[in-house]
Amino acid sequence: DTEVTQTPKHLVMGMTNKKSLKCEQHMGHRAMYWYKQKAKKPPELMFVYSYEKLSINESVPSRFSPECPNSSLLNLHLHALQPEDSALYLCASSRGLAGEVGEQFFGPGTRLTVL
Amino acid sequence: QQQVKQSPQSLIVQKGGISIINCAYENTAFDYFPWYQQFPGKGPALLIAIRPDVSEKKEGRFTISFNKSAKQFSLHIMDSQPGDSATYFCAARGGRYYGGATNKLIFGTGTLLAVQP
């Protein structure tokens, strides 16, 4: 298995809802990432996990809560989001954090719409 | 110093032509420079990457040229095809500047490439 999968593909939620995004990889990668991408913009890093520990939090609002239950799985819990949080949420993984093993492979993304 | 500047913003090339996208950076601590290709509604796909100790890397029709002294790098797509129509992002990795191995990528603003048949 050489891909990063993300579910759901599309999500519509209200501002009072609680939902979760899921990301999975079975490539044995030990680093996983969440990015946010607005239309016609580059991906923006949100969180980095290395060996299931949070390595980077790019000052993301607390309404986004990441979780890494094991080395293959990464979740993003969403609560009390705002309409401006609507975006494509991308997950990525890499074998490690340095050198050639740092090459990041992206999933297809979850298109989130907040009403 | 954390920016990567990418140009042009959009590019139209005839089928069979050469597409050239340029990027420039300031931070000399960047240690890895990948290019990503993204189709509408899809995640970015790693296309090709280069380290700063290499001046050129070629994979099929895609070539990265790297000029360390000028702090510039570019993507050349030879024999461009309509299937190459996508958005291309250059990126640079933070390296030592970020106090250790964080693998943070700084992306350029993207180039929308259209290859006309």
The shortest CB-CB distance from A105 to any of B41, B46, B109 is to B46
The alpha-carbon gap from A97 to the nearest alpha carbon of chain B, in Å, equals 5
Half-sphere exposure of B28 (CA within 13 A, CB side): 3
Q: What is the pLDDT of residues B48-103, one digit of tens each?
A: 999 999 999 999 999 999 999 999 999 999 999 999 999 999 999 876 545 555 68
Q: What share of chain B is helix, strand, coil (3-state, %, to 5)?
A: 5, 50, 40
| CA–CA separation, B34 and A103 (whole Å) | 8
Measured between CA atoms, the residue of chain B closest to residue A95 is B103
Q: What is the pLDDT along chain A (115 residues), one digit of tens a residue?
A: 669 999 999 999 999 999 999 999 999 999 999 999 999 999 999 999 989 999 888 889 999 999 999 989 999 999 999 999 999 999 999 998 776 678 899 999 999 999 9
